Structure 1
């Protein structure tokens, strides 16, 4: 049976929480609510020093369990027990971080864990550095629906230009990946809601699990999502197709034109039909281009910093929690 960790990624508001719950409903898989542990721990890895030293593992574990930045309490894992096991466990960054999710799986009586956070699509290097055996599931939804939903979220502080960029970025990263077929998988939100049994059966083949019909009823395990995140209220109801295509009532005509002008080729490549809206005015396209350029510069700066940091890592990064992970790292014990 597979022990590989599963990561659900995509543009925000693409249905990743629904997919998280579908996977969490599986008898062997546990997928916790979103936390801010993995990427932050990776970015600050030099802070913790060589994690082959128990005192450094203790410092990292305490930060994970007690920092207000990590959302650790939402997982329901015992913090003191986590710190103790982290100190006694393998000496690598991925081992300490992975232990969080392993303990969450144990809490739910599951043998395998996953994690869901849409922005991981922007941090695949970090995910794969810590978990080289990871399986990435990229959920794709009609970009116009994603944009219209993002506009309504209380936590989204950007404008429509940034919302459009978020979707195009996730598509472009997915198209440009160089992962092997058993490590990266794409599926469409619309297929997942229209024919969940067939779509989930194919997904289970990818992750190496037997399909279970309970996965079609994610609302039954929706209590894993913190109740204060009320923008996920739809996940507490039966899977429905009613939200697909709702962009036609939620976007203004000029916003539809912007989406289809910028996203057009990408939308049709994934089977989404265009409405025939007129081409967006140059001023709107220029505003989008400015936003996209700003974010791309930021991503390039981050990537350069990370390349430099990889030459200065104080200790092992890859997880050593499973037989497969130890074999990948050349540790045979």
Structure 2
């Protein structure tokens, strides 16, 4: 149990994890806390960062206004879902500090203020690929990584109407989230990175959420264990893939991969995940290993994703040398140890646990010994 709210500053909270790992449930739990406001997934934080050079020198008030108008009027940002007065937000950003992080922080602060709460956060599964970016803007941020059995994540992803990739990409997404999580834990330490498992969260919400609140410097709020009431008000029926959030927290979906995936898909996932499953206590199925051809196709998919992420990281390094302003949020005191720049690193190698296909499978089998990167 925490001794009380941390009075130093309202550190942003970012929820991340492989898609379909339960991050929406966790977002609802956190938003149910009396001091924490976390909206459903927004879509302007990372896009604004990617476009930061387009808005010019933010020392110019009119450029800050242009940035705010893009956030509040572009349909892709989902700003309307926050329920805020666009004109008020534009004026507040225009009058605020001349950095991108400050402008974005003002929007989220306005959302928290609307709900009468002092602290804000955001949830997007893909944030596990953008932690360096988030730290550049919010050096005092805290990250919460939700981990779920990768086979359940893959099974759920494959059933989503919006997921247009195959099982090889879905498997790669979970493996990358886990591998990046390992590196983040070492890089950020226990003050800024916290990991919890979906299975434990739904089995014992009180204990797991109490521990999570202690990490966040907050007191546990019993309302967090009843997110279904909030879900019924905020999760629209059209989002059928979030329909179970309308029900009480349950363990009923744990292990459902056994009925939802084909045997070969289970074998592929277990071969690709290797020791990662056992490290989290997930039992193997005992099925035969996938074929060499299936492993080779997975290796090719993983390599393509890895190279795309490597190119993106190099482009980001170039862009950092040409950005017109610092990006750090200036709304709260930064940690004493916060660096001026925390670039998104070119991914480091991760030991590969999937045995390579036979040499006849082609060059793809040799590249799979490198790191896993791009997520889904």
Shift of 1:36: 1.0
Shift of 1:275: 1.1
8 Å Cα contact 2:139-2:334 kept in structure 1: no
Residues 198 and 145 (structure 1), Cα distance of their counterparts in 2 relative to 1, 3 Å cut: same
Q: Which position in structure 1 is the counterpart of 2:250?
A: 240
Q: Which position in structure 1 is the counterpart of 2:220?
A: 211
Match of 1:229 among 225, 239, 242: 239
Q: Which position in structure 2 is the counterpart of 1:50?
A: 57
Q: How does 1:1-333 map to 2 (within 5 A)?
A: 1=7, 2-177=9-184, 178-222=187-231, 223-324=233-334
Q: Which has the higher helix share?
A: 1
Residues 327 and 320 (structure 1), Cα distance of their counterparts in 2 relative to 1, 3 Å cut: farther
Partner secondary structure for residue 276 of structure 2: helix
Runs of 4+ in 1 over 6 A off after TM superposition: none
TM-score (norm 2): 0.85
8 Å Cα contact 1:218-1:238 kept in structure 2: yes
Shift of 1:228: 3.2
8 Å Cα contact 1:260-1:277 kept in structure 2: no
Shift of 1:211: 0.5
Q: Which position in structure 1 is the counterpart of 2:365?
A: none
8 Å Cα contact 1:4-1:112 kept in structure 2: yes
Q: CA separation in 2, counterparts of 1:159 and 1:137?
A: 27
Shift of 1:329: 8.3
RMSD across aligned positions (CA) = 1.5
Shift of 1:325: 6.7
8 Å Cα contact 2:13-2:142 kept in structure 1: yes
> Which 10-residue stretch deviates more, 27-36 or 314-323?
314-323
Partner secondary structure for residue 274 of structure 2: helix
Q: Which position in structure 1 is the counterpart of 2:361?
A: none
Partner secondary structure for residue 323 of structure 1: coil
Q: CA separation in 2, counterparts of 1:296 and 1:82?
A: 38
Shift of 1:224: 2.9
8 Å Cα contact 1:319-1:325 kept in structure 2: no
> Which 10-residue stretch deviates more, 221-230 or 318-327?
318-327
Shift of 1:141: 0.1
Q: CA separation in 2, counterparts of 1:173 and 1:61?
A: 32
Shift of 1:120: 0.5
Partner secondary structure for residue 75 of structure 2: coil
> Which 10-residue stretch deviates more, 142-151 or 217-226?
217-226
Which sections of structure 2, spanning at least 5 residues, go unmatched? 1-6, 341-376
Q: CA separation in 1, counterparts of 2:331 and 2:235?
A: 26
Partner secondary structure for residue 147 of structure 1: helix
Residues 3 and 192 (structure 1), Cα distance of their counterparts in 2 relative to 1, 3 Å cut: same
Aligned residues: 330
Shift of 1:231: 1.2
Shift of 1:285: 0.8
